[in-house]
Every structure is written in C-alpha cells, then in structure tokens.
Amino acid sequence: MDERFTILIKMFSTAFGAVTGYFFGGWGVLMHLLLILVAVDWFTGWIAAWSSGELMSRRGFYGIARKVAIFLMVTVAHFVDLVLGNLKYFQNAVIFFYLANELLSIIENAGRMGLPIPKVFQQAIEILNSKSDEEEPSRHEQK
C-alpha cells in the first residue's frame, strides 16, 4: 500500500476517534447498535419507497437529515450527562428511545415491502400510528 494512503487512513481514524470521543463520550455497543439500526432503517425505507414507486429525492434528503438529528440528540444528551457528573443516564435513555423507534420503523418498512410481520409488531405499529394521527391535526391547524 502507498505510504501516503496509510498515513491518510491513520489521520482519518484518529480524527474520527477524537470526534466520537468528544461528541458521544466514546463509541460503545449502544452507539454501534444505533448506527446499525439507523443504516438498516434508511436502507429498508429506501427499498420500500422504491418498490411502491414513492421514491423521491426530497423525502430521501429529509430522511437523512432526520438520521443526522438522531445523533445530534445523542450528543446533546451526552453533554447534559457531563454537566450532571458524567453518569450517561440521559444519553443511554435517548439512545434506547431511538433504538426502539428505529426498530419499529424497520418493521414497518418490512411490512411495506410485503414481508410477513408478527401480530405483536403490527399492533405496536397501529398503536403508534393512531397516537400520531391524534397529534397531527393540531399541527395542520396551525398552518
């Protein structure tokens, strides 16, 4: 391998480690799982939209922005934990919330792709959708 390429990889790895250490307090198992679920959710959403003919670049860009916002929320929770004594309570709570959210979204995307979904998951998705529908009219009325 070219020596310049090796140095570039080492610089990138060092910078990535420093950034994740600062913004997330390190890269643990929960962060790794969150990254995996975010990527799988994006990919399954893309496939579901493509298979149903609903694939639009604007919605895709908005989806990616939402995924970035998840990690921004984890960063905010990390800094709140730092202020409170580096306990990681808030950060872990935020990560667990988004893990559950991403998992439900993956299941919903799988259903949109035609995969069979267990009844328990279908009921959970229906409950979340009904709660979401209850809140949406108030947002639309403000416009």
Query: Is residue 53, in this structure, part of any structural domain at all?
Result: yes
Query: Is residue 8, in this structure, part of any structural domain at all?
Result: no
pLDDT score, position 11:
93
Q: How far is CA 35 from the centre of its chain?
A: 7
- pLDDT higher than 70, residue 1: no
Query: Is residue 138, in this structure, part of any structural domain at all?
Result: no
pLDDT score, position 24:
84
* Total structural domains within the chain: 1
Please provide the average confidence, as pLDDT, over all residues in the chain. Answer: 86
Which domain does 117 fall in, by range? Answer: 23-132
pLDDT score, position 139:
44
Helices vs strands, H then E, count in the chain: 5, 0
The answer to whether the predicted template modeling score (pTM) of the entire model surpasses 0.85 is no
- pLDDT digits over 77-108, tens only? 999 999 999 888 999 999 999 999 999 899 98
Query: Is residue 10, in this structure, part of any structural domain at all?
Result: no
Maximum distance among all alpha carbons in the chain?
61
pLDDT score, position 74:
96
Q: Rounded CA gap, 53 and 42, in Å?
A: 16
Query: Is residue 5, in this structure, part of any structural domain at all?
Result: no
- pLDDT digits over 115-132, tens only? 888 888 888 777 777 765
Query: Is residue 13, in this structure, part of any structural domain at all?
Result: no
- pLDDT higher than 90, residue 43: yes
Query: Is residue 17, in this structure, part of any structural domain at all?
Result: no
Q: Rounded CA gap, 106 and 103, in Å?
A: 5
